[in-house]
Homo-oligomer: A and B are copies of this chain.
Amino acid sequence: MPNAPHSLSSRVHQLLLWKAGQNGTLLPDDESAIRAFRVRTQALGPGEDIVRQGDRPDVAVIVVSGMLARYHTLESGERQYISFHIAGDMPDVQSLLLTVMDHSLCALDTAEVGLIPHQELREAFSRQPALCFAFWRSTLVDAAIFRSALTNNSARASTTRLAHLLCEQYYRARDAGLTQDQSCSLPMNQTELGQALGMSLVSVNRALKKLRADGLVDLRGGILSVLDWRRLQQVAGFDPTYLYIADESEGSRLRLSGRGE
């Protein structure tokens, strides 16, 4: 019985601890508060919605595996992807304080999520400021990513724009320990990339072709392989500051830059 309920939910606590730890310094009390959260888990199929624009959820989602996406649905029915989320991300903590969803959340591939009742979070945050600050901070990093996406989609030319998105995804996956060799999962087709970047499918295809031709990346079957990180970063004008990932540059797991080959 793989992924028995117990082990999955402890994985959720693990991820919560990791995420909170990335966003602040936790005291033992804070950690035990997290461990005390009563979480449910849920499995999702590709394309499945978790919450929809207009919903008023009473739980917060944390990604355990797979990739989730936030998106807006326009009057026209058109879809605009807003952000992408991997293990450890909490794509809708904001629903704790903003009751109505202004966007939807779906799974891009098969995914598992943990669900934490708002009630539990509210109580824990009221009691333990450090915890509150950590989760607040994580939403602030989200916001920084939105800002970056706004600039990316508004001010960068198509190839650069695509390259920047790929940099971001790869860099974040790397931080979450989700890369192997120079590859990570990126379960989106070119249509969806277009809906994220504000470009047509055809433009995405052509931009990708260029990046591929220059030997920077390879993207196929939902797997992104970075062939020349240094140059990709250069082309994209990618500066990861806005991700607010402590890079502990010297001597640790994170040795991204300067690994062009």
Contacts and interface: CB of A to CB of B under 8 A. Distances in A.
B153 A94 contact: no
A150 interface: yes
B147 A98 contact: no
A82 B146 CA distance: 10
B98 A141 contact: yes
Chain B CB within 10 Å — which of A102, A149, A242 has the most? Answer: A102
A63 to B, nearest CB: 18
Interface in A52-102: 70, 72, 74-76, 78, 80, 82, 94, 97-98, 100, 102
Interface stretch (A41-49, A124-132, A249-257): A124-132
Contact of A150 (B82, B126, B241, B244): B82
Interface in A86-139: 94, 97-98, 100, 102-103, 125-127, 129, 132-133, 136-137, 139
Chain B CB within 10 Å — which of A74, A139, A140 has the most? Answer: A140
* Interface size range on A against B: 35 or more
Given A80-B154, A129-B125, A143 B75 contact: no
B97 A133 contact: yes
Nearest to A153: B154
A147 B75 contact: no
A237 B150 contact: no
Nearest to A103: B147
Contacts of A23: 97
A226 interface: no
A139 B141 contact: no
B139 A102 contact: no
A238 to B, nearest CB: 10
A82 B151 contact: yes
Given A126-B129, A155-B198, A237-B74, A146 B150 contact: yes
Interface in A210-251: 237, 241-242, 244
A177 B125 CA distance: 33
9 contacts: A74-B156, A80-B155, A97-B133, A97-B136, A100-B244, A102-B147, A150-B153, A153-B153, A154-B154
